Structure 1
Amino acid sequence: MNSLKLYGARDLRYEEAEKPRLVDGKDVIVKVKACGICGSDMSRYKKMGAHTPGQVWGHEFAGNVEQVGEEVTSLKVGDRVAGCPALIDEDDYYYRAGQPARADSLSAIGAKEPGGFAEYIKLPEKNFVKVPDDLDFDSASMVEPSTVVLHGYYRTNLTVGDDVVIVGAGGTIGLFAVQWAKIFGAKRVIAVDIDDEKLQIAQELGADYTINSLNEDVLVKVAEYTDGMNADIVVEAAGTPITASTVFGYAKKGGGVVFLGIPYADVAIERFYFEKILRSELTVWGSWSCVSAPFPGKEWSTTIHFMNNKRLNTEKMITHRIPLDKGPKMFERLMERKELIGKVIMYPEK
């Protein structure tokens, strides 16, 4: 079958891979109809390289059920599904405690096990969630990044009437954070990014105000847009050392910051920003993965519901649709950053 395999930093190859086969009675094989490039994929592609050199990569995908094991009861051949990439040992203490996102054994497909950048993928039955017939596969392949955001918001005390600042609002996670904040009932959503074109998309998806941090003072503008109070909730979705070290300055006293982005580098916090945690008595929430109990969690069913009723708009987020064999060149284009590239959806089937 056709696939994309990651061998090392900036070494992604379009190659043949062995088609998966049923081994366990709970196995399900899915024919991948659409798969997406994640921001975390770019970090690994650029800096970290392959977890397992030559492994089929990718963790955002959707498709049709092709085969089911003899013990599978919830799925049948032909069902449309989105795939949860989290792999967890069911004997793990945190999994048994109903906290799968904290499991020591938690890993993701595309690392040790084959991922979704391929024509077919095999996972346990529990890792697939049915999607309605009228939800397109492009959207279904984006259920996973939406669940990452929703899992983070569930960690907070966000409520109707709150003001929310989203840093890194132009990426997939940030744009979902904008939309979910509105669904949760946020009064004012303030999108912060360094790209005016992406900020325009954030505004089209519900952001009330936008701030380009390259040429505007974010501290000043956030205060201006919130009547001098700052935000109830600040979302760090950029995943850079700079943004991770400064987001505390945008929260109101008694407010909170939730971290969704992954810096992949050391974070040094200036005293001014660190003291905001203390002097403003902030709550800081870490958020990891996209799952809860019962696995994979209400993040998945809730996302599918709001995608299906069009409260979550994925179409404005997608800028490129390409065949899978163009994937390596697309990753290089993403590295160059010479053009607006939002969500990229790839299609394994020629």
Structure 2
Amino acid sequence: MKSLRLYGKEDLRYEEADKPQLEKENDVIIKVKAVGICGSDLSRYKKLGPYVEGMVWGHEFSGEVVEVGPKVSHVKLGDRVAGAPCFTCEDLAVPEVCYYCQKAEFARCENLTVIGARHGGAYAEFIRLPEKNCVQIPDNVDYESAAMIEPSAVVVHGYYHTNITAGDTVVIVGCGNMGLLSVKFAQIFGATTIIAVDIAEDALTMAKATGATHVINSAKENALEAIDTLTGGLMADIVVEAAGSPITSAQVFAYAKKGGGVVFLGIPYADVMVERFYFEKIVRSELTVWGAWNCVSAPFPGKEWLTIMSLLKNRQLELKSMITHRLSLEQGPEIFETVSHKKPEDNFGKIMFFPEK
């Protein structure tokens, strides 16, 4: 089958791979219809390299069920599904189920891994998953939107940690795909003031189109002063760090109001040095800080997935407008190289591959 395989940093190859076969009685083979690039894919491509050399990559996808194991009972041939990409203790050959899986806190599993890391991923024509990882797509939800349920679930998982309330003011730092999804879900959770912060004008334009009520270019103005002005000195109820920058990961503590909180979605991949001014905000403002990891909860894969699917089905959530590039797998190595060395004038939203293209 056609696939994208990661061999090393900036070494992504379009080549043939073995089509996955049924191995366990609850396995499902899915024909991949749409699969998106995640920000973590870009970091692994440019900075970290693969977990396993030559692994078929990718984890944000949707597709059609084409084979099922003999013990599969909840999905059938022809079903349209989104794939929850996480494997926990139940799926892995571990001698003992970890403490967190015993508590059904699957995002905290000691052995948590995702497809494309140590198991074949979705940048391919076909993928194998356990039946429980398959979330059925309603007839009125298209494959492109369904492929974006996973990153949406990451954002919702983060918001579920917080105490966000209708009428809140939310500041979102970083307007890449995770930041734009954070804007969308801040609206859904009822925030009335949504302030987006970034250093790129095109990203801020997309944030405004997505639903941000105010945008701040922190390369051109002092974000702290601008937020202070916009909120009448109160600052934000909730701050979302979605940039994954060592700089903004320290600054966000100053953007929250007293008694507010900060939720971290971004991963800096570097040391975060917090100046006294910012650190003291945690103490003096009595902030709550939430770390949010992954996209699953209990019952697996969690209410995040069911919530997003329901929002899509009822047309309360629109995701396709975030897609700026629709490509074949063959174009994968080129687009990863381009995005990793993008110019300031380049505009990349969600990039979606179509293995059949």
TM-score range, shorter chain: over 0.9
Matched with 1:239 is: 244
Matched with 2:253 is: 248
Q: TM-score normalised to the size of structure 1? A: 0.98
- Please tell me whether the aligned partners of residues 190 and 209 of structure 1 are also in contact (alpha carbons under 8 angstroms): yes
**Runs of 4 or more off by more than 6 Å in structure 1?**
none
Task: Give, in whole Å, the separation in 2 of the partners of 1:316 and 1:270.
Answer: 38
1:8-29: CA deviations, max 9, x gaps?
0000000101001111110000
* Matched position secondary structure for 1:152: helix
Matched with 1:52 is: 52
Matched with 2:158 is: 152
Aligned partner (choices 290, 293, 302) of residue 297 of structure 1: 302
Aligned-residue offset at 1:336: 2.0
Matched with 1:106 is: 112
Aligned partner (choices 116, 120, 142) of residue 122 of structure 2: 116
Task: Give, in whole Å, the separation in 1 of the partners of 2:306 and 2:181.
Answer: 16
| Percent of aligned pairs sharing the same letter | 58
Task: Give, in whole Å, the separation in 1 of the partners of 2:45 and 2:223.
Answer: 30
Aligned-residue offset at 1:125: 0.5
Aligned partner (choices 338, 349, 356) of residue 342 of structure 1: 349
- Please tell me whether the aligned partners of residues 51 and 112 of structure 1 are also in contact (alpha carbons under 8 angstroms): yes
Aligned partner (choices 267, 272, 281) of residue 262 of structure 1: 267
Matched with 2:141 is: 135
> Gapped runs of 5+ residues in structure 1?
none
> Mean Cα displacement is larger for which, 31-40 or 196-205?
196-205
Matched with 1:286 is: 291
Q: How many residues align?
A: 349
Matched with 1:88 is: 88
1:169-208: CA deviations, max 9, x gaps?
x211111110111111112000111111121111111110
Matched with 1:64 is: 64
- Please tell me whether the aligned partners of residues 205 and 313 of structure 1 are also in contact (alpha carbons under 8 angstroms): no
Task: Give, in whole Å, the separation in 2 of the partners of 1:319 and 1:216.
Answer: 28
- Please tell me whether the aligned partners of residues 231 and 250 of structure 1 are also in contact (alpha carbons under 8 angstroms): yes
Task: Give, in whole Å, the separation in 2 of the partners of 1:268 and 1:305.
Answer: 41
Aligned-residue offset at 1:335: 1.4
> Gapped runs of 5+ residues in structure 2?
91-96
Task: Give, in whole Å, the separation in 1 of the partners of 2:278 and 2:314.
Answer: 40
Instruction: Indicate whether 1:12 and 2:12 are aligned.
Output: yes
Instruction: Indicate whether 1:306 and 2:319 are aligned.
Output: no
Aligned-residue offset at 1:306: 1.3
1:13-69: CA deviations, max 9, x gaps?
001010011111100000000000001111110110011000000011100001011
Task: Give, in whole Å, the separation in 2 of the partners of 1:308 and 1:245.
Answer: 38
AA at the equivalent of 1:306: L
* Matched position secondary structure for 1:189: strand
Aligned-residue offset at 1:274: 0.5
- Please tell me whether the aligned partners of residues 150 and 180 of structure 1 are also in contact (alpha carbons under 8 angstroms): yes
* Matched position secondary structure for 1:277: helix
Task: Give, in whole Å, the separation in 1 of the partners of 2:297 and 2:210.
Answer: 27
- Please tell me whether the aligned partners of residues 5 and 55 of structure 1 are also in contact (alpha carbons under 8 angstroms): yes
Task: Give, in whole Å, the separation in 2 of the partners of 1:101 and 1:13.
Answer: 30
AA at the equivalent of 1:150: V
Aligned-residue offset at 1:313: 2.0
AA at the equivalent of 2:41: D
- Please tell me whether the aligned partners of residues 292 and 299 of structure 1 are also in contact (alpha carbons under 8 angstroms): yes
Aligned partner (choices 183, 191, 203) of residue 178 of structure 1: 183
Task: Give, in whole Å, the separation in 1 of the partners of 2:332 and 2:263.
Answer: 32
1:125-157: CA deviations, max 9, x gaps?
011100111211111111000000000000000
| Cα RMSD for the two superposed structures | 0.8
Instruction: Indicate whether 1:42 and 2:47 are aligned.
Output: no
Task: Give, in whole Å, the separation in 1 of the partners of 2:284 and 2:239.
Answer: 16
Instruction: Indicate whether 1:227 and 2:245 are aligned.
Output: no
Task: Give, in whole Å, the separation in 2 of the partners of 1:270 and 1:120.
Answer: 48
Matched with 1:97 is: 103
- Please tell me whether the aligned partners of residues 201 and 316 of structure 1 are also in contact (alpha carbons under 8 angstroms): no
Aligned-residue offset at 1:240: 1.0
